[in-house]
């Protein structure tokens, strides 16, 4: 049956509205992680910055981290082994329902506490820890990191790495972007860097760090980066750099 130009225009408008509505819902789901914290970007701007996840890497990383074969993963997701094989080969893409289910299963098996409790424990940790999104914005900053900056934790939440750091830490984050960290392609990373940061006094200060960094799978679905580190002496910093063969070793998801 033929459609009039007005009907076609109405359908296009409806499709556009549905797409925008879906995008907004996804954004609000992911943005729940930031509730009660300062925001430097609108919800839609955050959603537009989300990278496309590399599902073959995400699936293989989940399987190998939980010791499952393709058949066992298929049983958990209520699909066929052939479908899992196609996803891992990149021949097909999991549906939104499967994507969310996979992230929920990953969280349930890699953590013994809820996400809210996990966030609170990160915030109370005396070590240097921050959880950042793909834009480099702090979602959670630990008590130890706030202490290093001479700030309150609320002053760090929602801030961007590029406004607080300079030098090797920004190089580290750029490497995460290039290697697909926020696409699910990375299992973990180890680093040694000289941290230059802007203290609350306005003065730039510097310490040496030995860091371990891991992806965090969150609703959306999306990947955040949990960066954790310890302050070390210059001697230890150089020893770690020599062992790593440089600033950073990235361990790819299988």
Query: In angstroms, rounded to a whole number, what is the distance separating the alpha carbons of residues 45 and 41?
Result: 6
Mind listing the pLDDT tens digit of every residue in the chain (254 residues)?
444 444 444 444 443 333 333 333 333 333 334 444 443 333 323 434 566 788 888 888 788 777 889 999 999 899 999 999 999 888 998 998 888 888 778 767 666 667 788 888 899 999 999 999 999 999 999 999 999 999 999 899 899 999 999 999 999 999 999 998 998 888 899 999 999 999 999 999 999 999 999 988 777 778 899 999 999 999 999 999 999 999 999 988 75
pLDDT at position 217, please? 79
- Radius of gyration, alpha carbons of the chain: 21
Strand partners, 167: 195
**Domain edges within the chain:** 55-110, 115-252
* Contact (CB, 8 A) for 177 and 161: no
| Single pTM value for the model | 0.65
Q: DSSP assignment, residue 137?
A: B
pLDDT at position 41, please? 35
Total Cβ atoms within 10 A of residue 165 = 19
Strand partners, 202: none
pLDDT at position 43, please? 33
pLDDT at position 197, please? 96
pLDDT at position 219, please? 72
Q: DSSP assignment, residue 203?
A: -
- The CATH label, of 3.40.50.2300, 3.30.450.20, 2.70.40.10, 3.10.310.70, for the domain at 115-252 is 3.30.450.20
- What's the token pair of residue 49? 């910055």
CATH code, 55-110: 1.10.260.40
Phi, psi values for residue 207, rounded to 5°:
-140, 160
What's the angle, vertex CA 31, arms to CA 25 and CA 36, rounded to 5? 130
């Amino acid at each position: 049956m033929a459609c009039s130009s007005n009907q076609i225009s109405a359908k296009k408008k409806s499709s556009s509205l549905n797409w925008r509505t879906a995008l907004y819902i996804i954004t609000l789901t992911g943005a729940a992680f930031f509730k009660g914290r300062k925001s430097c970007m609108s919800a839609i701007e955050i959603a537009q910055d989300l990278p496309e996840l590399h599902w073959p890497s995400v699936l293989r990383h989940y399987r190998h981290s939980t010791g499952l074969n393709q058949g066992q993963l298929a049983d958990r997701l209520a699909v066929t082994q052939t479908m899992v094989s196609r996803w891992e080969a990149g021949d097909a893409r999991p549906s939104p329902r499967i994507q969310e289910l996979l992230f929920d299963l990953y969280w349930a098996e890699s953590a013994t506490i809820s996400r809210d409790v996990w966030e609170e424990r990160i915030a109370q940790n005396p070590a240097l820890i921050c959880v950042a999104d793909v834009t480099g914005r702090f979602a959670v900053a630990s008590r130890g990191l706030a202490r290093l900056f001479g700030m309150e934790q609320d002053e760090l939440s929602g801030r961007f790495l590029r406004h607080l750091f300079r030098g090797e830490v920004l190089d580290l984050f750029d490497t995460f972007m290039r290697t697909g960290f926020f696409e699910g392609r990375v299992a973990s990373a180890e680093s040694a860097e000289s941290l230059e940061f802007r203290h609350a006094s306005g003065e730039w200060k510097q310490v040496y760090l030995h860091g371990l960094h891991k992806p965090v799978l969150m609703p959306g679905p999306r990947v955040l980066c949990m960066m954790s580190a310890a302050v070390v002496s210059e001697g230890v910093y150089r020893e770690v750099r020599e062992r790593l063969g440089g600033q950073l070793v990235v361990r790819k998801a299988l």
